[in-house]
Structure 1
Amino acid sequence: MGETAATHVVNNSDANRFEILVDGQLAGYTTYHRNHARIVFIHTEIDERHRGRGLASALARHVVEDATARDLTIVPVCPVVAGWLRKHPDAPANVDWDAATALTAEAKKTDTAG
């Protein structure tokens, strides 16, 4: 068990998600919506077989770095991405916290209205 699994993150733009692969197999993803110079990170999911290995944090770091490199404004609706950004306030990302709060509140209203 001393070996470290190889991880790799890819942008699957057809599915609007970044995927994290472990030894070539899908282990999790972060979904997003892209609108001009903004990217809204919606949800992160890690397969239960791969939880507890830091993959969600690695994926969040990657999506933030990718958005920053492409000069996109990040709207972190996803709690994983938002949590990573809060833990790393020195990350040079452009973040729209107000939009994230508004979108999260709207989603909660929609969930409880049904």
Structure 2
Amino acid sequence: MTLLIYIAAALAEIGGCFSFWAWLRLSRSPLWLIPGCASLILFAWLLTLIDTAAAGRAYAAYGGIYITVALFWLWTAEGIRPDRADIAGVLLSLAGAAVILLAPHRN
């Protein structure tokens, strides 16, 4: 369930941030900010659902998932295929997220 929450949070964050990108960099209507802000609120709420005693640990582990979903966005939404360095970075970030999520912690 944690992985699904992280993926949903990443999609919500990327969608929300992309609305600002579209407005400021692609000259889209400021109305793009309405669903974008709602998406960022959804992102923040989703991260509160992660079952951990420390918010910072949940956010740190989320980083690996975010990087993965961001490169998926790059490929599917922007039409730019990730290269070897992108894939290496994803693998490193997922390894780091796994260590943070799965290691025993003292709290």
TM-score (norm 2): 0.34
Task: Name the structure with the higher strand share.
Answer: 1
Structure number with the higher helix fraction is 2
